[in-house]
Chain A
């Protein structure tokens, strides 16, 4: 666990929680990134695109102010990244949420659906990471 970063994880997490609380209080919307993204692709209204733009800009601003200790990953097979994207896009549309919508907002509302979804994608993610890293030996 040499790479464990508990303090920045808790601070970053609290900011994500503050963002979700702010969005619900001001606009009545759940800060589920997959739901906002799927909605942006097929519904009218600017707020979803603005949230998505803010997401990228907020992350970019921090990485610019405090250049990260990590080196961006390179050399990971791009076809696998594309496949990962398709699975995430399809799965979150079908399952109605992702790590933020089900994992953060749903769990804090004690939604049984969100708890079941979170357990399911956590386990599937662990199985998938194990297979990719240890059985197929894809370095990442």
Chain B
């Protein structure tokens, strides 16, 4: 197997595992997400435990992984080198949060929910692609 094929297979496997996790934790159900964000309603803390479960694993595993010189099928680790908390980070995250609380979908669950055949998920993912395009046209710093 070539390196590119190994990388592609790894991405597919990681995607499958990620989708499985989103389905088991019911994060593909936008109502469950909104029940977490809606602290004034019938609050459901499940989403916090999904994050805690994920961070618990990555915090430990990343330490071992990042001690290696390089990943198994690539020449380097592709990590962000940005360190400054700047305006685009905060403004963008606030815009994302507003959309998240409006629909109950963030990118992972939105894409995963496509598998349910939900029209909503299709509309949401189309909206995300449009938002991505709009950012490139209007919001991205000129280079």
Contact = CB atoms under 8 A, between A and B. Distances in A.
* Interaction A to B: yes
A127 B28 CA distance: 21
Given A90-B139, A112-B85, A128-B101, 14 more contacts: A13-B25, A13-B54, A16-B21, A20-B14, A27-B7, A29-B11, A37-B132, A50-B12, A72-B29, A81-B105, A95-B88, A95-B91, A121-B93, A132-B101
A20 B66 CA distance: 13
14 contacts: A16-B57, A17-B56, A17-B61, A21-B58, A60-B23, A74-B120, A81-B127, A87-B96, A96-B80, A96-B82, A102-B93, A120-B90, A133-B38, A140-B31
Contacts of B10: 22-23, 26-27, 47
Contacts of A117: 89-90, 92-93
A78 B120 contact: yes
A74 B123 CA distance: 13
Interface in B88-143: 88-108, 110-116, 118-120, 123-136, 139-140
B15 A51 contact: yes
A93 B108 contact: no
Main secondary structure of the interface of B (DSSP, over half): helix
Contacts of A87: 95-96, 98-99, 102, 131
Nearest to A22: B14
Interface residues of B, number: 118
Contact of B30 (A33, A120, A140): A140
Contact of B17 (A22, A47, A132): A22
B128 A96 contact: no
Given A4-B45, A121-B100, A93 B82 contact: no
Interface in A98-123: 98-100, 102-105, 107-109, 111-113, 116-118, 120-123
Interface string B1-33: 000001111111111111111111111111110
Contacts of B89: 95-96, 113, 116-117, 120
A55 B19 contact: yes
A17 B13 contact: no
A10 B70 CA distance: 30
Nearest to B132: A89
Nearest to A64: B115
Contacts of B58: 17, 20-21, 104-105, 108
A124 B97 contact: yes
